[in-house]
Amino acid sequence: MAFVVLDEGESLESALRRFKRKVQQGAIIKEIKKHSTYFKPGEKRRMKEAQARKRMRRRVKRDRDLEY
């Protein structure tokens, strides 16, 4: 679990920013969303394949842009 200790003289806003950064770096939100709903095994597989296709399209596009 992410937590932040307030330093002396530190504003609440800066401590909140540090907390949000820690939560993002720890991928806590992503993990919670992943476990919040149940997906059937076939559905999981289809989603995983779709993500792989998306990654491949991005990689091909980036490589194509680098060639020019």
Residue range 26-35: average pLDDT?
85
Rounded Cα distance, 39 and 33, in Å: 12
Indicate the domain borders of the chain: 1-37, 38-68
**What would the pLDDT profile of 37-61 be if each residue is shown by its tens digit?**
899 999 999 999 999 999 999 999 9
- pLDDT for the residue numbered 68: 67
Residue range 12-24: average pLDDT?
91
